[in-house]
Amino acid sequence: MTTVVRRDFRSVPSRDAMATWTAIVALLTQGQGGDREKELLSVAGIASSLIADQAAKDAPIVVTCDGPRTRIYCLYDDDSLDDSGSGEAKLGYEPLKGDWQVSLPCPQEDLDWVFQALGRLTKRIVARDLAEGISADSKTASAVAAPVLNLESFFKS
């Protein structure tokens, strides 16, 4: 079973959309900078636009790597002003380890332009229809299959 870790970032009006994306990038890069940070910041305008549209309110930004999956939600309006609901703590693992990818939730009406704009900048950061969740098609992040447990073999002595 894939381990999933959740983080909730305070966004508008607590911080603007660009500051929210910058905070998310800092979490993912663990403050180390380098090529991964440059790649994430290269899509800051697109990611900030989606954050401003509240795309990450009910559908998470999903980060997959060679370790646990990270789901990042944004808190808006009164929820963003109440610090008790946020969870922006550092992660206990490297969220961009190995073959990583970031999937940004996107309203269906914006999916085509966002997908094309991201494709010109990076192959690791993709968009998906926020209404459909995470699936595997040409405009979404690839889904990571969970291992299947063979109960009969498991319970054999």
* Tokens (6 digits) for 13: 């009006």
More confident residue, 113 or 156: 113
pTM, two decimals, is 0.81
The bridge status of strand 69-75 relative to strand 61-64 is antiparallel
Are 65 and 96 in contact, with CB atoms under 8 Å apart? yes
Number of Cβ atoms within 10 Å of the Cβ of 85: 13
Q: How confident is the model over 91-121, as pLDDT tens digits?
A: 999 999 999 999 999 999 999 999 999 999 9
Q: How confident is the model over 2-44, as pLDDT tens digits?
A: 688 999 999 999 899 999 999 999 999 998 989 999 999 999 9
pLDDT of residue 73: 95
pLDDT of residue 13: 92
Strand 125-129's sheet: what is its strand order?
4-10, 69-75, 61-64, 101-106, 125-129
Are 96 and 24 in contact, with CB atoms under 8 Å apart? no
pLDDT > 90? residue 140 = no
pLDDT of residue 98: 94
On average, the pLDDT of the chain sits at 84
pLDDT band with cut points at 50, 70 and 90 for residue 85: low
* Tokens (6 digits) for 79: 């929820």
pLDDT of residue 79: 84
pLDDT of residue 143: 34
Q: Cα separations (Å) of 50 from 16, 33, 66, 70, 109?
A: 12, 23, 26, 18, 12
- The 3-state DSSP class for residue 128 equals strand
Q: How far apart are CA 88 and CA 76, in angstroms?
A: 14
**Phi, psi (rounded to 5 degrees) for 141:** -70, 150
Candidates 11, 4, 2; CA nearest to 85 is: 11
Residue 5 burial (C-beta neighbours within 10 Å; 0-12, 13-18, 19+): middle
Q: How far apart are CA 64 and CA 97, in angstroms?
A: 9
